[in-house]
Amino acid sequence: MALKNEYLQKVYEQVEKRNPGEKEFHQAVYEVDRRRRIRQDR
C-alpha cells in the first residue's frame, strides 16, 4: 500500500514485516494515515 508520507510509508513497511498475514491490522494502519490526511487538509 502506498502512503504519501515517506516516514509513514517506512513505518507501514515495518508493520508488514513484523506482522505478516495480519491484513486487517495493515488496513488499520493505512486508515489512520488516511484519516490524518483528511484532518490535515481541512
Tell me what pLDDT residue 35 has.
86
Q: Per-residue pLDDT tens, the chain, 42 aa: give them.
A: 666 778 888 988 999 999 999 999 999 988 887 888 777 777
pLDDT at residue 34 in the model: 82
Give me 41's grid cell.
487538509
Grid cell at residue 8: 509513514
DSSP state of 17: H
Pair 39, 33: CB distance under 8 Å: no
Kindly report whether the global pTM for this prediction surpasses the value 0.85.
no
Listed residue (42, 38, 16) closest to 29, CA to CA: 16
Task: Return the pLDDT at 1.
Answer: 67
Residue ranges covered by each domain of the chain? 6-41
Q: Among the residues of the chain, which ranges form H helices?
A: 6-18, 23-41
